[in-house]
Structure 1
Amino acid sequence: MAARLGVVSVVQVVIRSLRARIFSGELAPGTPLAEVDVAAQYEVARPTAKAALENLVASGLLTRNAHQTARVTLLSARDALDIYRTRAIIEAEAVRLLAAQREVPSEAREANAEITELVGASPIDIIDPDIRFHAALVQALGSRRTSAFYAQLTDEIRLCMTHVQDATLLSTKDIAAEHARLLQLISEGEAAAAAKVLEEHLRTASNKLAEHLDSL
């Protein structure tokens, strides 16, 4: 059992490092990541490198066709629209249910307060609190299955947001203001209006990202 836990730990270390390098832009979209190269770079066994790469393929950060080297995912405009459309389906329903109970997640308030404090800072800095804000809306439902399903999208959401913020497609001030408006509507029990604000918030981001990706 101890040996098994050790292997899992090493795999997770490699996964975390590769994820960080992808999100920072060090590993640009389209960059190939061969098992043998990853194993050599991290000084781990090839099965460990393979397990790490398979995890990142499953999360959408890497793309690999049969018998080909994995590559950092290059999002298309269609990918971005699909990811945000899926988010909207889950998050809008979460917002409706929260508004019906007038339940405002404290984690969402805290995350948006952090975003507000970052107005004027690098747009990349708001990615973490922005993700926490939206995740808090879903997690507040208290549904293990819904949260688990949403969590499967997290890496692709972060990849999208990295593109959005790296290109400064959205204003931090506007994001914080829209979040604040959404939380206000939830607290007032305005379910339909809250869902509409959420959907428009995500639609604006997805459309700007799709336009940006099409221009590359």
Structure 2
Amino acid sequence: MNNVVADLSQDRPRLGRSSTAERVADILRDRISEGFFRPGQRLSEESISEALGVSRNTLREAFRLLGHEGLLEHKLNRGVFVRLPSVEDALDLYRVRRVLEGAAVRRRPSEQAMTVIREAVRDAERAAEQDDWQRVGTANIRFHQALVTLNDSPRLDETMRQLLAELRLVFHVMDNPREFHEPFVDRNRTLLGLIEAGRPDEAAAYLDDYLDHAEKLLVQAYEPNR
């Protein structure tokens, strides 16, 4: 059992007494968002079911759910693999982000949401100082998830959660994670400042430019493989 899969055993308490496929899918989705699973990686039914303490049937149902979300793919006679989204997927993800996050930064933020957003910014800055760019990427994912909570919609929160897991897989096309993530450490701080200052129109305009910047970098990274 590799270290990544072995680490899943820590997530057993999240399953509670009723080990449902949805909860298993939640755990695996979170791990994808945190960068623990990479595109092309084969997922072992035996290792993961043992680590989580669930049946293989439950795990297969979780795999099926994540397959519908575009995170996993089943290859005939080979098994289940983490999927690499296409450049078209990446472009569509950014279309959705512009809608969800653009609406969010125009709303009056709650102090609870702002606390989470500030902490994500600080986590990214600390990780950057330690040259830990996987952790920077994870903090960035949390930052954008927290932004969407400003919409005050559990449905949009869940949509964003699924979207960001797929986006984390997109990030893996970058050969140099530092080159990709580093500019957005400062940009997150600037966007936070605009929200804190109560300047929603400027925050929305800045976010548009921010997302254009990130999208352009990702598309360029896909180019050699297109």
The TM-score normalised by the length of structure 1 is 0.76
In the alignment, structure 1 segments of 5+ residues that lack a partner are none
1:108 CA displacement: 0.7
When residues 14 and 41 of structure 1 are mapped into structure 2, their CA distance, relative to the original with a 3 A threshold, is farther
Query: Which SS does the other structure have where 1:97 is aligned?
Result: coil
Work out whether residues 84 and 206 of structure 1, in 8 Å CA contact, stay in contact via their aligned partners in 2. Answer: yes
Counterpart Cα distance in 2 of 1:57 and 1:189: 40
C-alpha separation in 2, matches of 1:134 and 1:50: 30
The CA distance in 2 between the partners of 1:182 and 1:22, in whole Å, is 22
1:198 to 190, 204, 207: 207
Corresponding residue for residue 77 of structure 1: 87
Give the AA of the match of 1:111.
A
CA displacement 1:100-145 (0-9 Å, x = unmatched): x999712111110111122241211112211111111111332222
Does residue 208 of structure 1 match 2:220? no
Cα distance 1:85–1:17, how it changes in 2: closer, same or farther (>3 A)? closer
The answer to whether the Cα contact below 8 Å between 1:98 and 1:141 also exists between their aligned partners in 2 is: no
Cα distance in 2 for partners of 1:133, 1:147 equals 13
RMSD across aligned positions (CA) = 3.8
Specify which of 107, 111, 122 is matched with residue 113 of structure 1. Answer: 122
- Structure of higher CA gyration radius: 1
Q: 1:104 to 1:177 in 2, by over 3 A?
A: farther
Deviation at 1:180, TM superposition (A): 1.6
CA contact (8 A) 1:78 1:210 kept: no
Structure 1 residues 72-98: Cα deviation after superposition (integer angstroms, max 9, x where no partner):
212221111111221121001100123
Per-residue deviation, 1:70:
4.3
Q: Tell me which residue corresponds to 2:184.
A: 175
> Corresponding residue for 1:159?
169
Normalised to the residue count of structure 2, the TM-score between the two structures is: 0.73
Q: Which aligned pairs between 1:12-23 and structure 2 lie closer than 5 A? A: 12=24, 16=28, 19=31, 23=35
Change (3 A) 1:203 1:21: closer
What letter is aligned with 1:23?
A: G
**Cα distance change on mapping 1:165 and 1:155 into 2, 3 Å:** farther
Q: Percent identity?
A: 26
> What are the ranges of 5 or more consecutive residues in structure 2 without an aligned counterpart?
1-15
User: CA 1:178–1:92 in 2, change beyond 3 Å: closer, same or farther?
Assistant: same
Q: Is the 8 A contact 1:107 1:136 kept in 2?
A: yes
